[in-house]
Amino acid sequence: MTADDQVDMTRSQVFGEVAEMYDIVRPGYADALVTEVLAYAALDGQAALEIGAGTGKATLSFAAHGVPLVCIEPDPRMAEVLRRNTAHCRGVRVQSGRFEDWRSDGRRFGLLLAATSWHWVDGERRWDLAHDALAPGGTLALFWNPHGIRDPEVQTVLAEVDRRHGLVGTPHRAPASAYGERPGHWAGAPGWPEEECRRDGRFTDLRAVRFREHRHYATDRYLALLASTSAYRVLSPDRRERVLAETGRVLDARGGGIDMDHFSDLLLARRPA
Protein backbone atom coordinates (compact mmCIF):
# COMPACT_ATOMS: atom_id res chain seq x y z
CA MET A 1 0.00 0.00 0.00
CA THR A 2 1.39 3.42 -0.98
CA ALA A 3 1.35 6.52 1.18
CA ASP A 4 -1.40 7.97 -1.01
CA ASP A 5 -3.46 4.81 -0.49
CA GLN A 6 -3.06 5.17 3.27
CA VAL A 7 -4.21 8.80 3.14
CA ASP A 8 -7.24 7.82 1.05
CA MET A 9 -8.11 5.03 3.48
CA THR A 10 -7.86 7.44 6.42
CA ARG A 11 -10.15 9.93 4.67
CA SER A 12 -12.63 7.17 3.82
CA GLN A 13 -12.98 6.19 7.47
CA VAL A 14 -13.58 9.61 9.03
CA PHE A 15 -17.31 9.67 8.28
CA GLY A 16 -18.15 7.30 11.11
CA GLU A 17 -17.07 9.96 13.60
CA VAL A 18 -20.26 11.82 12.71
CA ALA A 19 -22.44 8.97 11.43
CA GLU A 20 -25.67 10.37 12.86
CA MET A 21 -25.04 13.87 11.50
CA TYR A 22 -23.99 12.39 8.15
CA ASP A 23 -27.29 10.54 7.98
CA ILE A 24 -29.28 13.69 8.68
CA VAL A 25 -27.51 16.28 6.51
CA ARG A 26 -26.09 14.41 3.53
CA PRO A 27 -28.31 14.64 0.44
CA GLY A 28 -29.65 11.54 -1.24
CA TYR A 29 -29.90 10.80 -4.94
CA ALA A 30 -32.46 11.81 -7.54
CA ASP A 31 -35.42 9.43 -7.85
CA ALA A 32 -34.92 9.59 -11.61
CA LEU A 33 -31.43 8.14 -11.17
CA VAL A 34 -32.78 5.07 -9.38
CA THR A 35 -35.38 4.62 -12.12
CA GLU A 36 -32.65 4.90 -14.78
CA VAL A 37 -30.48 2.28 -13.10
CA LEU A 38 -33.32 -0.22 -12.66
CA ALA A 39 -34.54 0.22 -16.23
CA TYR A 40 -31.03 -0.44 -17.54
CA ALA A 41 -30.37 -3.37 -15.20
CA ALA A 42 -33.69 -5.19 -15.74
CA LEU A 43 -32.95 -7.28 -12.65
CA ASP A 44 -36.00 -9.56 -12.78
CA GLY A 45 -35.56 -10.53 -9.13
CA GLN A 46 -31.75 -10.67 -9.08
CA ALA A 47 -30.03 -9.20 -6.04
CA ALA A 48 -27.79 -6.13 -5.94
CA LEU A 49 -24.47 -5.61 -4.17
CA GLU A 50 -23.78 -2.13 -2.78
CA ILE A 51 -20.25 -1.16 -1.83
CA GLY A 52 -19.58 1.59 0.69
CA ALA A 53 -23.27 1.85 1.53
CA GLY A 54 -22.76 4.41 4.32
CA THR A 55 -25.96 5.07 6.24
CA GLY A 56 -28.19 4.06 3.32
CA LYS A 57 -28.60 7.22 1.24
CA ALA A 58 -28.93 5.10 -1.91
CA THR A 59 -29.83 1.80 -0.24
CA LEU A 60 -33.28 2.86 0.88
CA SER A 61 -34.25 4.11 -2.58
CA PHE A 62 -33.39 0.80 -4.22
CA ALA A 63 -34.94 -1.23 -1.40
CA ALA A 64 -38.17 0.73 -1.85
CA HIS A 65 -38.37 -0.78 -5.34
CA GLY A 66 -38.12 -4.28 -3.88
CA VAL A 67 -34.49 -4.88 -4.86
CA PRO A 68 -32.76 -7.42 -2.56
CA LEU A 69 -29.46 -5.89 -1.44
CA VAL A 70 -26.23 -7.03 0.17
CA CYS A 71 -24.62 -3.87 1.55
CA ILE A 72 -20.91 -3.67 2.39
CA GLU A 73 -19.83 -0.83 4.69
CA PRO A 74 -16.26 -0.56 6.04
CA ASP A 75 -16.98 1.70 9.01
CA PRO A 76 -18.82 -0.13 11.83
CA ARG A 77 -20.37 3.12 13.09
CA MET A 78 -21.87 3.85 9.68
CA ALA A 79 -22.96 0.21 9.39
CA GLU A 80 -24.80 0.47 12.70
CA VAL A 81 -26.86 3.41 11.40
CA LEU A 82 -27.40 1.57 8.11
CA ARG A 83 -28.78 -1.48 9.95
CA ARG A 84 -31.16 0.73 11.90
CA ASN A 85 -32.31 2.57 8.77
CA THR A 86 -32.96 -0.66 6.87
CA ALA A 87 -34.42 -2.71 9.72
CA HIS A 88 -37.84 -2.55 8.07
CA CYS A 89 -36.46 -3.70 4.69
CA ARG A 90 -36.76 -7.49 4.52
CA GLY A 91 -34.44 -7.90 1.56
CA VAL A 92 -31.48 -5.88 2.87
CA ARG A 93 -28.46 -7.52 4.49
CA VAL A 94 -25.59 -5.44 5.89
CA GLN A 95 -22.01 -6.71 6.13
CA SER A 96 -19.23 -4.77 7.84
CA GLY A 97 -15.89 -4.65 6.08
CA ARG A 98 -14.09 -3.46 2.97
CA PHE A 99 -15.05 -4.52 -0.54
CA GLU A 100 -11.42 -5.50 -1.06
CA ASP A 101 -11.70 -8.06 1.77
CA TRP A 102 -15.22 -9.27 1.05
CA ARG A 103 -15.83 -12.85 -0.09
CA SER A 104 -18.77 -13.68 -2.32
CA ASP A 105 -18.63 -17.43 -1.68
CA GLY A 106 -19.45 -17.95 -5.32
CA ARG A 107 -22.52 -15.68 -5.40
CA ARG A 108 -22.90 -13.32 -8.36
CA PHE A 109 -25.14 -10.26 -8.55
CA GLY A 110 -27.29 -8.66 -11.21
CA LEU A 111 -26.29 -5.16 -10.11
CA LEU A 112 -23.27 -3.69 -8.36
CA LEU A 113 -23.77 -0.11 -7.22
CA ALA A 114 -21.48 2.42 -5.59
CA ALA A 115 -22.96 5.71 -4.40
CA THR A 116 -20.14 8.23 -3.91
CA SER A 117 -17.85 5.41 -2.81
CA TRP A 118 -16.10 4.00 -5.90
CA HIS A 119 -13.12 6.36 -5.51
CA TRP A 120 -12.40 4.86 -2.07
CA VAL A 121 -11.92 1.35 -3.51
CA ASP A 122 -8.34 0.26 -4.31
CA GLY A 123 -7.68 1.59 -7.81
CA GLU A 124 -5.56 -1.41 -8.76
CA ARG A 125 -8.24 -3.94 -7.87
CA ARG A 126 -11.67 -2.37 -8.20
CA TRP A 127 -12.40 -3.34 -11.81
CA ASP A 128 -11.36 -6.95 -11.14
CA LEU A 129 -13.51 -7.05 -8.01
CA ALA A 130 -16.52 -5.56 -9.77
CA HIS A 131 -16.21 -7.92 -12.74
CA ASP A 132 -15.95 -10.95 -10.47
CA ALA A 133 -18.95 -9.88 -8.34
CA LEU A 134 -21.29 -9.47 -11.32
CA ALA A 135 -23.23 -12.23 -13.01
CA PRO A 136 -22.91 -12.40 -16.81
CA GLY A 137 -25.05 -9.58 -18.16
CA GLY A 138 -24.93 -7.82 -14.78
CA THR A 139 -24.90 -4.03 -14.40
CA LEU A 140 -22.30 -1.76 -12.85
CA ALA A 141 -23.80 1.55 -11.62
CA LEU A 142 -21.40 4.19 -10.28
CA PHE A 143 -22.76 7.54 -9.20
CA TRP A 144 -21.93 10.70 -7.26
CA ASN A 145 -23.79 13.80 -6.11
CA PRO A 146 -21.39 16.77 -6.36
CA HIS A 147 -22.76 20.24 -5.74
CA GLY A 148 -21.76 23.76 -6.70
CA ILE A 149 -22.66 27.23 -5.43
CA ARG A 150 -25.08 29.09 -7.67
CA ASP A 151 -23.87 32.62 -6.80
CA PRO A 152 -20.33 33.16 -8.21
CA GLU A 153 -19.66 35.99 -5.76
CA VAL A 154 -20.44 33.81 -2.75
CA GLN A 155 -18.31 31.02 -4.23
CA THR A 156 -15.34 33.37 -4.64
CA VAL A 157 -15.54 34.56 -1.03
CA LEU A 158 -15.85 31.03 0.35
CA ALA A 159 -13.00 29.79 -1.84
CA GLU A 160 -10.83 32.49 -0.28
CA VAL A 161 -11.84 31.31 3.20
CA ASP A 162 -10.80 27.79 2.23
CA ARG A 163 -7.50 29.04 0.81
CA ARG A 164 -6.62 30.86 4.02
CA HIS A 165 -7.27 27.70 6.01
CA GLY A 166 -5.49 25.38 3.58
CA LEU A 167 -8.59 23.42 2.56
CA VAL A 168 -8.92 21.59 -0.75
CA GLY A 169 -11.67 19.40 -2.17
CA THR A 170 -14.60 21.41 -0.80
CA PRO A 171 -17.77 22.44 -2.72
CA HIS A 172 -16.28 25.95 -2.98
CA ARG A 173 -13.70 25.21 -5.66
CA ALA A 174 -15.87 26.56 -8.47
CA PRO A 175 -19.38 27.95 -9.08
CA ALA A 176 -22.13 25.64 -10.24
CA SER A 177 -21.88 27.11 -13.74
CA ALA A 178 -18.38 25.62 -14.08
CA TYR A 179 -19.75 22.09 -13.90
CA GLY A 180 -20.90 22.16 -17.49
CA GLU A 181 -23.54 19.90 -18.96
CA ARG A 182 -21.76 16.56 -19.25
CA PRO A 183 -21.82 13.87 -16.55
CA GLY A 184 -18.52 13.80 -14.72
CA HIS A 185 -17.63 17.39 -15.63
CA TRP A 186 -16.83 18.39 -12.05
CA ALA A 187 -15.15 21.77 -12.34
CA GLY A 188 -11.68 20.27 -12.62
CA ALA A 189 -12.10 17.69 -9.84
CA PRO A 190 -10.87 14.19 -10.73
CA GLY A 191 -12.65 10.90 -10.22
CA TRP A 192 -15.10 10.34 -13.08
CA PRO A 193 -14.41 6.69 -14.07
CA GLU A 194 -15.70 6.49 -17.65
CA GLU A 195 -12.32 6.48 -19.42
CA GLU A 196 -10.88 4.09 -16.85
CA CYS A 197 -13.79 1.75 -17.48
CA ARG A 198 -13.21 1.91 -21.24
CA ARG A 199 -9.52 1.15 -20.80
CA ASP A 200 -10.35 -1.89 -18.68
CA GLY A 201 -12.23 -3.26 -21.67
CA ARG A 202 -14.38 -5.85 -19.90
CA PHE A 203 -17.57 -3.80 -19.71
CA THR A 204 -19.87 -2.79 -22.54
CA ASP A 205 -22.85 -0.55 -23.28
CA LEU A 206 -21.47 2.39 -21.30
CA ARG A 207 -24.01 5.10 -20.60
CA ALA A 208 -23.51 8.39 -18.72
CA VAL A 209 -26.46 10.42 -17.41
CA ARG A 210 -26.77 13.62 -15.36
CA PHE A 211 -29.64 14.76 -13.15
CA ARG A 212 -29.71 18.24 -11.63
CA GLU A 213 -31.73 20.02 -8.96
CA HIS A 214 -31.60 23.24 -6.95
CA ARG A 215 -31.43 23.21 -3.15
CA HIS A 216 -31.29 25.94 -0.55
CA TYR A 217 -29.48 25.42 2.77
CA ALA A 218 -29.84 27.54 5.87
CA THR A 219 -26.46 28.43 7.38
CA ASP A 220 -26.53 25.88 10.22
CA ARG A 221 -27.54 23.02 7.95
CA TYR A 222 -24.90 23.91 5.38
CA LEU A 223 -22.19 24.02 8.04
CA ALA A 224 -23.31 20.58 9.24
CA LEU A 225 -23.11 19.31 5.66
CA LEU A 226 -19.57 20.62 5.33
CA ALA A 227 -18.59 19.13 8.70
CA SER A 228 -19.68 15.69 7.46
CA THR A 229 -17.28 15.74 4.46
CA SER A 230 -13.77 14.31 4.47
CA ALA A 231 -12.09 17.65 3.70
CA TYR A 232 -13.34 18.97 7.05
CA ARG A 233 -13.27 15.72 9.05
CA VAL A 234 -9.48 15.37 8.63
CA LEU A 235 -8.90 18.77 10.24
CA SER A 236 -8.17 19.10 13.92
CA PRO A 237 -11.30 20.06 15.90
CA ASP A 238 -10.13 23.60 16.64
CA ARG A 239 -9.10 24.25 13.04
CA ARG A 240 -12.39 22.82 11.77
CA GLU A 241 -14.32 25.04 14.20
CA ARG A 242 -12.47 28.15 13.00
CA VAL A 243 -13.05 27.58 9.29
CA LEU A 244 -16.72 26.67 9.80
CA ALA A 245 -17.26 29.73 11.97
CA GLU A 246 -15.78 31.98 9.29
CA THR A 247 -17.85 30.26 6.60
CA GLY A 248 -20.96 30.80 8.72
CA ARG A 249 -20.24 34.51 9.07
CA VAL A 250 -19.99 34.81 5.29
CA LEU A 251 -23.38 33.16 4.81
CA ASP A 252 -25.09 35.06 7.62
CA ALA A 253 -23.92 38.33 6.09
CA ARG A 254 -25.65 37.28 2.86
CA GLY A 255 -29.07 36.38 4.16
CA GLY A 256 -28.35 33.33 6.31
CA GLY A 257 -28.06 30.57 3.73
CA ILE A 258 -26.74 29.37 0.41
CA ASP A 259 -28.21 28.18 -2.89
CA MET A 260 -26.64 25.10 -4.48
CA ASP A 261 -27.02 23.10 -7.64
CA HIS A 262 -26.90 19.37 -6.88
CA PHE A 263 -25.85 16.99 -9.63
CA SER A 264 -26.47 13.26 -9.65
CA ASP A 265 -23.98 11.90 -12.19
CA LEU A 266 -24.39 8.26 -13.18
CA LEU A 267 -22.20 5.87 -15.16
CA LEU A 268 -23.75 2.57 -16.26
CA ALA A 269 -21.89 -0.36 -17.78
CA ARG A 270 -22.57 -4.05 -18.31
CA ARG A 271 -20.59 -7.24 -17.92
CA PRO A 272 -21.20 -9.09 -21.19
CA ALA A 273 -23.46 -12.13 -21.00
Q: For the segment 158-195, what is each residue's pLDDT rounded down to a tens digit?
A: 999 999 999 988 999 989 999 988 899 886 667 899 99
Q: For the segment 143-155, what is each residue's pLDDT rounded down to a tens digit?
A: 999 889 999 999 9
Alpha carbon separation from 132 to 51, 69, 87 (Å, rounded): 14, 17, 29
Residue 110 contacts residue 135 (beta carbons within 8 Å): yes
Residue 240 contacts residue 227 (beta carbons within 8 Å): yes
**How confident is the prediction for the chain on average, in pLDDT?**
91
Q: What is the rounded average pLDDT of the residues 20-32?
A: 81
Looking at the predicted structure, is the pLDDT value of residue 7 above 50? no
The H or E element spanning position 112 is strand 109-115
Local confidence band at 17 (pLDDT 50, 70, 90 cut-offs): low
**Best CA proximity match to 55, nearest among 91, 27, 80, 90:** 80
Structural domains in the chain?
Answer: 3-149+180-215+262-270 (3.40.50.150)
Whether this model's pTM surpasses 0.75: yes
Helix/strand/coil percentages in the chain, nearest 5 = 40, 25, 35
Local confidence band at 3 (pLDDT 50, 70, 90 cut-offs): very low
Least confident of 69-73, 103-107, 186-190: 186-190
Q: What is the rounded average pLDDT of the residues 29-41?
A: 96
Alpha carbon separation from 48 to 10, 140, 208, 264 (Å, rounded): 27, 10, 20, 20
**What is residue 23's predicted lDDT score, i.e. its pLDDT?**
75
